[in-house]
Structure 1
């Protein structure tokens, strides 16, 4: 073989030395998707959440009357006409359930989102900056952490004449962030001493760019699971406030349905269809979220993966 023929016989392709580096990210994402599709906890929780979310979004579109409208005979058990029966006042329980699911998901999204945002800002800032900034933010976090959040929410809700989902979600988010901030701070404090972060500092990048381009991407899975826990926690807190009568003054929620059922003696009258569906709805949402979180932990943590 001559020197002129050798290049023609060589099969073109990527350089073996650089191929693993180029494909490392894609291979990691592929492994994550592979184990996610095989994790029964994640799939089961996701299926339940998907069904309830679809009900919350689609069902109210096909309900002509409002959730508090008197549409039928009073205290009727479930039937073909009224799937979940009616209340003491002739209101459709299924209509209330569908609208209540929507309110519940909205409270979880807004309340959990506010708590996650505040927790990430404080946690990342304290973990990356350290020193006096860390001490001050840690002190503020500890003060809010020891406050009885539910008592604060009850007092705030009691003094508000008009309460809506937005206001309720804001109060829940502003009292639910401390544990998330402490957890994120601990992770950020560990990553802030890594070589790639030191290299980013030496290159002259600003602190917030280092946080969002170097530290946060390495915690993406942890942040996502933290948001799921905050989402479920916001739903539970909102349900507790609604159940004691401090929920939204207008509209309907699953917690308010349970409050109204107890207030109007649904249990004593044997009207189980008034309070059982909202109770099961809250349990299914929160339980599925926590099951999803366990499944995601098994997917993202190689030590917990089941082959």
Structure 2
């Protein structure tokens, strides 16, 4: 593991992505400690331009946009992380079981996975969001995770199938080890780097999915996320008012977070994927 981290530190793409992500996380942890104001408190007039103590001006309600942005980034990262963990765990379970056990179980699990792939997850997301009365950011994150796991499952299944008949796995079978033990100790370590890459992509797509449904006004209630800031700007016609600060910083923040996660993923891919490396 330490060896892998050492190699990763030599990848400029991975380093760029990791440092940018770390700085974003640091900002959302430290800034609310320095500025203890309520992000939903009205401080100024509507759509006041940046200046006069307001780094990014005010929004349609006269609230401090920079403070809102920090809380928005925090919510969006948390939604992405929860959605990423849920999607990766489900995808791992389906992919490992399907790829290693094979036979009827493989057929059933593949059928379920394909069914989820055929129905666009975004439509499921919208339908569930519309039907729920109280949507917390945690609920939204769980819905995103529960609808976005099939790609991970397919990729893990392909990797597991190729490992199933390796010598070390056959020796473990002959030694009489149980199926869960073989999967955990003989297969999972070989695809660990792959799982981390899948997780990073799931986090990025979770952040984008939350931003998309929040922009439509179907995001979580009683909280601030980057998508919700964009939604407020659209509903209260910030572009018409010429208030670029009400939506461009939020769009930029979404782009930076997802870009830095994709950079981390690309950096890892170049190191751990022998096809690219050669």
Is this a same-fold pair by TM over 0.5? yes
Q: Give TM-score, length-normalised by structure 1.
A: 0.87
Among 60, 65, 68, the alignment partner of 1:96 is 68
Q: In structure 2, what is the equivalent of residue 215 of structure 1?
A: 187
Does residue 1:297 correspond to 2:273, yes or no? Answer: no
Tell me how far 1:59 sits from its aligned partner. Answer: 1.3
CA contact (8 A) 1:65 1:71 kept: no
Q: In structure 2, what is the equivalent of residue 244 of structure 1?
A: 216
Tell me how far 1:185 sits from its aligned partner. Answer: 0.5
Cα distance in structure 2, aligned partners of 1:75 and 1:154: 30
Q: In structure 2, what is the equivalent of residue 107 of structure 1?
A: 79
Q: In structure 2, what is the equivalent of residue 25 of structure 1?
A: none
For this pair of structures, how many residues does the alignment match? 278
Q: In structure 2, what is the equivalent of residue 78 of structure 1?
A: 50
Cα distance in structure 2, aligned partners of 1:147 and 1:233: 17
Does residue 1:51 correspond to 2:23, yes or no? Answer: yes
Tell me how far 1:305 sits from its aligned partner. Answer: 4.8
Residue-by-residue CA offset, 1:206-237 (whole Å, 9 max, x unaligned) = 11111111100011111100101111111111
Residue-by-residue CA offset, 1:176-205 (whole Å, 9 max, x unaligned) = 011110110011111111111011111111
Cα distance in structure 1, aligned partners of 2:155 and 2:277: 23
Cα distance in structure 2, aligned partners of 1:223 and 1:88: 42
Q: In structure 1, what is the equivalent of residue 228 of structure 2?
A: 256
Tell me how far 1:301 sits from its aligned partner. Answer: 3.4
> Based on CA coordinates, which of the two structures has the bigger radius of gyration?
1
Cα distance in structure 1, aligned partners of 2:274 and 2:2: 13
More relative contact order in 1 or in 2 (CA 8 Å, sep 6+)? Answer: 2
Structure 1 unmatched runs, 5+: 1-27
Cα distance in structure 1, aligned partners of 2:130 and 2:193: 38
Cα distance in structure 2, aligned partners of 1:179 and 1:33: 26
Q: CA RMSD in A?
A: 1.5
CA contact (8 A) 1:243 1:256 kept: yes
Q: In structure 2, what is the equivalent of residue 87 of structure 1?
A: 59
Q: In structure 1, what is the equivalent of residue 99 of structure 2?
A: 127
Tell me how far 1:149 sits from its aligned partner. Answer: 1.2
Q: In structure 2, what is the equivalent of residue 68 of structure 1?
A: 40
Among 152, 156, 160, the alignment partner of 1:180 is 152
Does residue 1:158 correspond to 2:130, yes or no? Answer: yes
CA contact (8 A) 1:35 1:305 kept: no
Cα distance in structure 2, aligned partners of 1:111 and 1:303: 29
Tell me how far 1:302 sits from its aligned partner. Answer: 5.0
The change in CA–CA distance for 1:136 and 1:302 in structure 2 (over 3 A counts) is closer
More divergent stretch after superposition (74-83 vs 127-136)? 74-83
More divergent stretch after superposition (63-72 vs 297-306)? 297-306
Cα distance in structure 2, aligned partners of 1:213 and 1:72: 59
Structure 2 unmatched runs, 5+: none
Q: Give TM-score, length-normalised by structure 2.
A: 0.96
CA contact (8 A) 2:84 2:145 kept: yes
